[in-house]
Chain A
Amino acid sequence: MRHEIWLAALTDELRRHGVGPDLAAHVVAEAAGHLRDSGEPPLRAFGPPSAYAAAVADSVGGPALSTRSSVGPVRLRAVDISKRYGRRTVLSGVSLTVHAGQVAAVVGANGSGKSTFLRICAGLVGADGGHVELHGTVGYCPQAGGTADFLLAEEHFALIGAGRGVPRSAAAREGARRAAALDWVPGDAQARHLSGGTRQKLNLVLAGLGDPEVLLLDEPYQGFDRGTYLDFWHEVWRWRDAGRAVVVVTHLLNQLDRVDIVLDLSAGGAGVAA
């Protein structure tokens, strides 16, 4: 692999792993100098760009979390939600409050009711008890589905955009921009011809289209490779910095220290957000 290509890939990967731009520039310059001096091929000297970037990010301790002293108004308030399917109680007495500029993670074992809780918050499924307040528009990304097999990506953007009152050209631009953040260029393929991971990227882009105040994401990273998974979390933090309220259902715990609220549903379906 030629130096320039490897170094460019390294720049990308450092950004993805949350290394600040100044440090990233230094790391790349130092690596370039080392390659010049040693004359070694980059893959032998440093390994794949993603691995080296991960090692660098590890050594540096990850991106600095901007501490927020003040959060915005309440965007989602779920109080005492309970849900039964037949005789099985899936949720009982679950509450969650998310303000603008906060990220909440809903965790729990399989079957603990995470998806159900999110669908109840979105209003797609009825609750047997409790109520939900939503302040603003809502974007929802299911684990799978939510796209039309025979439409192109751009047509999806136009369709969702029209619902939110966004003109077609603006919706197309916004869709392309959000897709680029997930390292995807929407082409002319129908949704049914996209790979599973790419289809989920479409799903995620559609959830954020029109800039809703509340984002409800149900483990939307199915089929994402490692790089895109990191991109996804960058999008989540960007949404947070932009003052949106984000709720992510996830069972992968290693990103938990970057969220503001954790709602653990594994204890028999009851939980109050910490």
Chain B
Amino acid sequence: MAVLACSTVDQDRRAQWLRGVLDLCVLGLLARGDSYGYELAQSLQSAGLGTIQGGTLYPVLLRLQRSGLVTVYWREGGGGPARKYYTISAAGLAVLGEAAGQWAAFAGGVGAIIQERTAR
């Protein structure tokens, strides 16, 4: 049902929201287990964030890699060429933990303001 709600939200606003949280969401997914690019995109989509294009996702992954929040390794695929897998690092976990708290407070505040209006 969250997926249905996506289609009614303004695309520009959604893109703005994503810009702020995409790296944290990726870290969140990687905290549950190693993954590769396409799998992450699919997980983000089924979580209700809409379609994340490769052109958006991979630069984010590169930035995370560059700032040391994730590390990478290549794993041979079953029937195809090697895939680049991402692992969250200790620094990444720390950032994720801190951000989770901040986000809860932030989203809570925004939700409260917005809900008050619709309650009228």
Mask of B68-109 contacts with A, CB within 8 angstroms, 1/0 = 000000000100111110000000000000000000000000
Give the residue name and chain of the A residue nearest to B54 (CB). A45
Q: A26-B84, A34-B38 are in contact. Are A44 and B53 (CB under 8 A)?
A: yes
How many of A's residues come within 8 Å of B, CB to CB? 25
> Is A60 a contact of B66 with CB atoms below 8 Å?
yes
Chain B interface size range: 10 to 19
> Is A33 a contact of B83 with CB atoms below 8 Å?
yes
Report B42 CB to chain A, min CB distance, Å.
8
Partner of A59, one of B63, B81, B82: B63
A37 to B63, CA, bound (A): 23
Please, which residues of chain B bring their CB within 8 A of the CB of A30? 37, 58, 83-84
Give the residue name and chain of the B residue nearest to A43 (CB). B55
Q: Is B59 an interface residue (CB 8 A)?
A: yes
Report A52 CB to chain B, min CB distance, Å.
5
Q: Is B41 an interface residue (CB 8 A)?
A: yes
Partner of A52, one of B36, B55, B66, B77: B55
Count of A-B contacts judged by CB separation below 8 Å: 59
A30 to B81, CA, bound (A): 10
Q: Is B62 an interface residue (CB 8 A)?
A: yes
> Is B38 a contact of A37 with CB atoms below 8 Å?
yes
> Is A34 a contact of B59 with CB atoms below 8 Å?
no
> Is A56 a contact of B62 with CB atoms below 8 Å?
yes
Residues of chain A from 37 to 53 with CB closer than 8 A to chain B in the complex: 37-38, 40, 44-47, 51-52
Give the residue name and chain of the B residue nearest to A47 (CB). B55
Please, which residues of chain A bring their CB within 8 A of the CB of B80? 33, 36
A45 to B63, CA, bound (A): 19
Partner of B81, one of A29, A44, A45, A47: A29
Q: Is A55 an interface residue (CB 8 A)?
A: yes
Give the residue name and chain of the B residue nearest to A52 (CB). B55
Q: A60-B66, A61-B66 are in contact. Are A31 and B38 (CB under 8 A)?
A: no
Please, which residues of chain A bring their CB within 8 A of the CB of B63? 59
Mask of A210-234 contacts with B, CB within 8 angstroms, 1/0 = 0000000000000000000000000
Give the residue name and chain of the A residue nearest to B84 (CB). A30
Please, which residues of chain B bring their CB within 8 A of the CB of A32? 81
Please, which residues of chain B bring their CB within 8 A of the CB of A160? none
Q: Is A58 an interface residue (CB 8 A)?
A: yes
Report A58 CB to chain B, min CB distance, Å.
7
Q: Is A191 an interface residue (CB 8 A)?
A: no
A243 to B54, CA, bound (A): 41
> Is A38 a contact of B84 with CB atoms below 8 Å?
no
Partner of B53, one of A27, A33, A45: A45
Report A228 CB to chain B, min CB distance, Å.
23
Q: A31-B54, A34-B38, A34-B54 are in contact. Are A55 and B59 (CB under 8 A)?
A: yes
Q: A29-B81, A60-B62 are in contact. Are A38 and B55 (CB under 8 A)?
A: no
Q: A46-B53, A47-B55, A59-B59 are in contact. Are A33 and B66 (CB under 8 A)?
A: no
A35 to B84, CA, bound (A): 14
Output the residue of B37, B54, B58, B66 with the most chain A CB within 10 A.
B54
Please, which residues of chain B bring their CB within 8 A of the CB of A37? 38
> Is B58 a contact of A27 with CB atoms below 8 Å?
yes
Q: A36-B80, A61-B66 are in contact. Are A31 and B41 (CB under 8 A)?
A: no
Q: A27-B58, A56-B62, A61-B66 are in contact. List 7 more A-B contacts (CB 8 A).
A: A29-B81, A29-B82, A30-B37, A31-B58, A33-B84, A34-B41, A56-B58
